[in-house]
Amino acid sequence: MQCRIDIQEVPAETVYDVLHDIEYRRKWDMSVIDTHDIAQLATNADVGYYAWKCPKPLKNRDVVTLRSWQVVDKYFMIINFSVKHPQYPPRKDLVRAVSILAGYLVQSTGPNSCTLTYLAQVDPKGKLPKWVVNKASQYLAPRMLKKMLKACLKYPSWKQQHNINMKPWLYPEQSKLPNMMLSDLALQHAASLENIDESSLSEVKDERGDHSGSEN
């Protein structure tokens, strides 16, 4: 899956901060069940956990990923892929998905504008109904980018009230994560995880509607 959006009125630096800021993500991303950093691998790499809600009646998914980031001139990059962590085995209440390769590229196009490209190659582990594939590519991913755009517009005022100078993705000396050796992790292969057959499931409308949640 690949999506791209041209962003006006928001500099690339702000978009990059929003993509990194886990505390803020819990405010604007209503699909999040749980997300947190686990350990630091290098000044520009860590390992983290992310669990998210899937369209009903599918089972919710989670991933453990190694993430790395870099800023080169006007380009801001974040990439991740799935790994095995000894203290984060697959949970019984979630399906462990596999991020083969996913990432964001933010390119500055001006002092107050940028382009965001999102690329994701993910194995959700299991056979999915056709309606899920169509909904994810045609509706869910574009909608999430639009929500993120709204979140970017509100981020500066939010950050003023929430540890304004705390940005460990820019200042690694601020990180409070425990250090971890890369050798303690292993690449997560999709073949080693259970496959779930959900291909016969029909779409269920969420009676709660589409809540945008608090983004302030």
What is the distance of C-alpha 85 from the center of its chain? Answer: 18
Instruction: State yes or no: pLDDT of 215 exceeds 50.
Output: no
The pLDDT tens digits of the residues spanning 101-111 come to 999 999 999 99
- CATH of the structural domain 2-186, one choice from 3.30.930.10, 3.40.50.10240, 3.30.465.10, 3.30.530.20: 3.30.530.20
The pLDDT tens digits of the residues spanning 125-136 come to 877 766 666 666
Instruction: State yes or no: pLDDT of 22 exceeds 80.
Output: yes
> First vs last Cα of the chain: how many Å apart?
29
Cα(12)–Cα(39) distance, rounded to whole angstroms?
26
Cα(85)–Cα(143) distance, rounded to whole angstroms?
31
Q: What does the pLDDT average to over 133-142?
A: 63
Domain ranges of the chain: 2-186
Cα(16)–Cα(7) distance, rounded to whole angstroms?
12
Kindly provide the b/e burial profile for residues 63-90, where b requires at least 16 CB atoms within 10 angstroms of the residue's own CB.
Answer: bbbbbebebeeeebbbbbbbbbbeebeb
Which pLDDT band holds residue 123 (cuts at 50, 70, 90)?
confident
Instruction: State yes or no: pLDDT of 83 exceeds 70.
Output: yes
The pLDDT tens digits of the residues spanning 39-76 come to 999 999 999 999 999 877 788 999 999 999 999 999 99
* DSSP secondary structure, 179-202, as one string: B--GGG-EE--GGGS---B-TTPP
- The predicted structure's pLDDT at residue 91: 93
Q: In the chain, helix, strand, coil percent, each to 5?
A: 25, 35, 40
* Residue 110: other Cβ atoms inside 10 A: 10
What is the reported pTM? 0.86
Amino acid at 215: E
Strand partners, 104: 78, 118
Strand partners, 61: 52, 95
Question: What does the mean pLDDT of the chain come to?
Answer: 87
Non-local CB neighbours of 186 within 8 Å, separated by 6+ positions: 83, 84
| Tokens at 29, concatenated | 């991303």
Which pLDDT band holds residue 161 (cuts at 50, 70, 90)?
very high
